[in-house]
Structure 1
């Protein structure tokens, strides 16, 4: 009896979300008493989140009104931009302190280091108490970087169903226990739970936002263009001439070209080159794969052709990107 072939997914957006994985997640259990304000610096290529376990606080992001985060709320900052959170009844107090540079810097506040993944902070003026779980992480797959380009500065989840809130709180308690007393597989468990929490926040935003306008998410949700994108993402190393793309999308050449550009904001050929080059840069920075292998995985028959395309995209050679990625860990050691 031959093995049955698993049919391909018919949910292109779901396929992309399956690839979202976080790395380097760090949690801080924050016990805060009013008045207090904490300034979080920007974290490049990372996302940050705050979960209010008890009490409430204000979230201040430049260019946006203060947001009140109550118990059970989750705030996700997909672009890792700097921001301030504060306690107390006056939402403008944190804004004033932030503008005057009076917010206490995150790294200036003493913390208790429980493990490599968990810290505990006690800070504030002794008034009304709040408890938060704050975290920073980064996506370790190219799809995460592309997805964040489509997301707003802040995703504020304030209307979770009761069972979802219970699951969120129990998950965070489990993460704290594993981080405080790590055992075999703790890192994997913590990372996967963080993946699920962040994914749930993004799914919630996608569901609530409806039409997000031209862009990657809109294209993935389109039946025809989404099918083509899913097929390409599965096999970016294969040849993708216009005739094949039109066949997969089941569209004529002219209609396909117009619709793809309208939904994505760039022509299909340009998207394929950009995706391949970003994936190649990621492999150069994070693996020891030979340049010839990376060129082949990027759809190029020779290293020379790949190197020319790479330099056109980033104005840098593949070799310089790889060399820099090897130097940086030495400088930070």
Structure 2
């Protein structure tokens, strides 16, 4: 299995809910932080403004937005700011199964919105993704992405028996396809695992770290996996990933350790060996330094979490 598939598999998309917005200018909607999901612009145009120092982005029919980290944002009919209505107020007052209607008497816009819930407990890979993955319809998002967005929009517009399971399965595939499309043209200033995966040499080293965290990796052996000199590998890895090879490897090992400890069944010594530590003492010291508590205390405090989800958090990062 390729590394992208492995990482997306760890996220474990558990459920998704959709609703359709029928909007007429003027309008502005506020989506609060924490709401991971997608927006599909099926008619008209609008503007997106994400919390933080980012300029507004123009959107038009056919565009797909993936909001993987749950960053708060505003969608509005025009670039000029206006007071935004909380989206939860509109959805709460709408009739079940019907489109949410809002706005004045101006130009119409239709948006299909999906909200994702992941089964993973506190998975940092979600936060490490860029705040917005914007795939433009006019630049060729690819036939598979287009087909899936059109199918989702059709299911939401005219739901039939089994619509929930259909949209959930389509969303799972759409998430992978959106990440794959984004990988084809990662921005030069991107940092994190998406940028690393887009680089064939760094990607090879990442895959080896992920699949074999128990091995005695050094910067030199990872550079050899990448087919690069030690200095060139270290510099490029740090520039692209936002962390040095040693720091990233340590965080990945702690992620794998937390997954195992949350199961409640593994001995600390066993986990230490599985993630590349020669002694339980060395592992416990590193674990407490990074996580803030001892491995045994972490395991005992997360036994119930392990039974419910069987997953932990992950160090895939982006800045």
What displacement does 1:79 show? 2.4
Residues 1:54 and 1:315: Cα distance change in structure 2 (over 3 Å): same
Between 1:71-80 and 1:289-298, the stretch displaced more is: 289-298
Partner of 1:268: 245
SS at 1:208's partner residue? coil
Q: Is the 8 A contact 1:37 1:85 kept in 2?
A: yes
Question: Is 2:151 the partner of 1:171?
Answer: yes
Partner of 2:301: 323
Residues 1:133 and 1:291: Cα distance change in structure 2 (over 3 Å): farther
2:66 to 67, 73, 76: 76
Structure 1, unmatched stretches of 5+, are 1-8, 98-102
Q: How many residues align?
A: 297
Partner of 2:94: 111
Q: Is the 8 A contact 2:17 2:115 kept in 1?
A: yes
Partner of 1:206: 183
Q: Is the 8 A contact 1:15 1:230 kept in 2?
A: yes
Partner of 2:49: 60
Give TM-score scaled by structure 1 length.
0.70
2-structure distance, mates of 1:17, 1:24:
18
What displacement does 1:82 show? 0.8
CA RMSD of aligned residues (A): 3.9
1-structure distance, mates of 2:300, 2:46:
43
2-structure distance, mates of 1:129, 1:243:
58
SS at 2:8's partner residue? coil
Residues 46-68 of structure 1 show CA distances to partners (whole Å, capped at 9, x for unaligned) of 63321012233332223333333
SS at 2:217's partner residue? coil
Structure 2, unmatched stretches of 5+, are 309-319
Question: Is 2:67 the partner of 1:91?
Answer: no
2-structure distance, mates of 1:191, 1:294:
34
1:290 to 266, 269, 272: 266
Residues 1:60 and 1:182: Cα distance change in structure 2 (over 3 Å): same
Partner of 2:316: none
1:27 to 18, 42, 45: 18
What displacement does 1:246 show? 4.3
Residues 150-196 of structure 1 show CA distances to partners (whole Å, capped at 9, x for unaligned) of 5354525242438457514432146548975338xx64x54442133
SS at 2:138's partner residue? coil
Residues 1:277 and 1:18: Cα distance change in structure 2 (over 3 Å): closer
Question: Is 2:125 the partner of 1:137?
Answer: no
Q: Is the 8 A contact 1:178 1:190 kept in 2?
A: no
1-structure distance, mates of 2:265, 2:159:
33
**Mapping for residues 109-258 of structure 1, pairs under 5 Å:** 109=90, 110-114=93-97, 120-125=99-104, 127-137=106-116, 145-146=124-125, 149=128, 151=130, 153=132, 155-161=134-140, 163=143, 166-173=146-153, 175-176=155-156, 181-182=161-162, 187=165, 189-209=166-186, 211-212=188-189, 215-242=192-219, 244-253=221-230, 256-258=233-235
